[in-house]
Chain A
Amino acid sequence: MMKSSKVYIENKMKTLIKQDALREMILHAEQTFPNECCGFFYGHENEDREISTIQISPNTKEGDQRRRFQISAVDYMKAERYAMEHNLTLLGIYHSHPNHPAIPSEHDLKQAMPYFSYIIISVQEGVYDHVRSWKLDDEGKFEEELFKTI
């Protein structure tokens, strides 16, 4: 399902995130615990992918939101519209894993789209633990991205 890349590979595209943006994601994840939070992030892509802005989105999953998240079609449309209106690129989706590592599950993979980065925030007992970012490779499997704050 996924490959973990622990070694920095020269010339591989990095995903960079502004510290304020990451801080907002982490706060959102902690505040939503024990449920999963979700949202979008935007920025630009040149040699690397740079995330400048995030946008919280309601978790519209019916049922157990401690294990599942869902973003409505209407909220997705709004996100695409926001990107266009603000001359940004919609770069991906973030969500949290309460009391669980930031590794994509089979459920995360099932509806994952190419191009997007998927940032997962692990929250342990309400406190941020770690964050990792993933992207589909050409075979449709998750590959970990080189992910740094700027």
Chain B
Amino acid sequence: MAQILVPTPLRKFTNNLSKVEVNGGTIVENLKDLAVQFPDLEKYLFSGDEIKGYVKIFLGDNDIDSLNGADTEVNTSDIISIIPAIAGGKN
């Protein structure tokens, strides 16, 4: 099973787990499996069936945007990282 690395701010929704084993053939399937295991994560990861635009997903050291996006295939030894967007400004 692949592993998802959960960023610190979202660990309150995964019983404080920083790594979760997931099932799925593609990135989006693995993320959906994560949301099934921990339903409170869904609103932070998905907008409908699409991965939220401000969430970056990495497969190993590669941004999935440089691969095949949400349909990128995932192997059982792969590590998927969820990276929250960090941005802001005074106005």
Does chain A bind chain B? yes
A93: min CB distance to chain B, Å: 6
**Chain B 4-47 residues near chain A, CB threshold 8 A:** 5, 7-12, 18, 44
Report the interface size for chain A: residues with CB under 8 A from the other chain. Answer: 34
**What is the total number of residues of chain B having a CB less than 8 Å from a CB of chain A?**
23
Q: What are 12 A-B pairs at a CB distance below 8 A?
A: A70-B87, A71-B86, A76-B83, A77-B81, A89-B8, A93-B86, A95-B88, A111-B84, A113-B84, A115-B8, A115-B9, A116-B9
Closest CB in chain A relative to B6 CB, distance in Å: 10
Q: Check A6 for interface membership: any CB of B closer than 8 A.
A: no
Contact (A80, B91) CB under 8 Å given A73-B56, A73-B63, A114-B12: no
Residue of A nearest to B85 (CB): A111
Q: A-side interface residues toward B, CB under 8 Å?
A: 36, 38, 61, 67-71, 73, 76-77, 80, 83-84, 89-90, 93, 95, 97-98, 100, 104-116
Which residues of A are found within 8 Å of B54, using beta-carbon distances? Answer: 111
Given contacts A77-B58, A114-B12, 17 further A-B contacts (CB under 8 A): A61-B87, A61-B89, A67-B91, A69-B88, A70-B87, A73-B58, A73-B63, A76-B83, A83-B8, A100-B91, A105-B90, A107-B90, A111-B85, A113-B84, A114-B10, A115-B8, A116-B8
